Amino acid sequence: MKLRICGIRTVWDAVGDGEFFCPGCGGDRNYRRLTGRRRFAVLGVPMLRRGTTGPVVECAACRSRFDTDVLDHPTTTRLSAMLRDAVHTVALGVLAAGGTTSRTVLRTAAATVRGAGFDDCTEEQLSIVVEVLSADIGHGSAFDPAAEACGAALAIELHEALEPLAPHLAPAGREAILLQGARIALADGPYGPSEREVLTTVGGALRICAEDTARLLAAAARTPS
């Protein structure tokens, strides 16, 4: 056996903690954020400071250590909340574009939002939110600057809800969100021009290319729901 007489030894200090998704043991876990102090050691006894290292993130369950960029990945809990919000925002977007006068559209939208995890979402709630949104922004003709602003505000909402989610979803997961929006729009017949516009924005925010978005929307329109 080779006796290690001297070498660099790292002493780790905990500088914070929280919850993260551990890629080591695959789940939401607590972590400690560690910074290391590197010391020159003789016979395992630390002697001179050799600077700092890290920080790293250590899983409380499996003790695996990772670079801090592991924290960029949302926890499973956070990810399901983001998904739920995404579907809710898409539903509101489609309703704001197509109007809430159709009972079938409202019913489909409420069922979709409940399916995404907002268990107590009702048609009435959705129609109130859409009314408030529309009143805030003002209704007008296509030549009304307020209507233009409505489109822009809606696009911003959609980008904020969808863009942070997109990198964490497989293509099928991103397409599923778009298709849920498409089914709401199709509940009362073919897409209207503003519904199509909103769904195109949804596709873009989900990083689905324009061609694929158009193809998926056309396929959804051919398939009876």
Strand pairing class (27-42; 6-22): antiparallel
61 touching Zn ion, by CB under 5 A: yes
- Out of 62, 111, 133, 153, the only residue in the binding site for Zn ion (CB under 5 A) is 62
- Out of 20, 22, 175, 195, the only residue in the binding site for Zn ion (CB under 5 A) is 22
Buried b / exposed e along 119-150 (16+ C-beta atoms within 10 A): eebebeebbebbeebeeebeeeeeeeeeeeeb
- Out of 41, 57, 59, 105, the only residue in the binding site for Zn ion (CB under 5 A) is 59
**CA separation for the pair 181, 79 (Å, rounded):** 19
- Closer to Zn ion by CB, 14 or 146: give it: 14
- Closer to Zn ion by CB, 28 or 188: give it: 28
Q: Quick one: angle between helices 76-98 and 103-116, nearest 10?
A: 170
Task: Give CA torsion, residues 128, 145, 202, 120, to 10 deg.
Answer: -10
Q: Which stretch binds Zn ion (CB under 5 A): 1-9, 60-68, 98-106, 206-214?
A: 60-68
24 touching Zn ion, by CB under 5 A: yes
153 touching Zn ion, by CB under 5 A: no
- Out of 15, 25, 43, 48, the only residue in the binding site for Zn ion (CB under 5 A) is 25
55 touching Zn ion, by CB under 5 A: no
Count of residues for the chain? 225
Where do runs of H (alpha helix) occur along 144-192?
A: 145-162, 171-186
Shortest separation between residue 69's beta carbon and Zn ion, angstroms: 16
Q: Which stretch binds Zn ion (CB under 5 A): 54-62, 76-84, 92-100, 211-219?
A: 54-62
Q: Of 211, 6, 62, 154, nearest to 146 (Cα)?
A: 154
Binding site for Zn ion (CB under 5 A): 22, 24-25, 59, 61-62
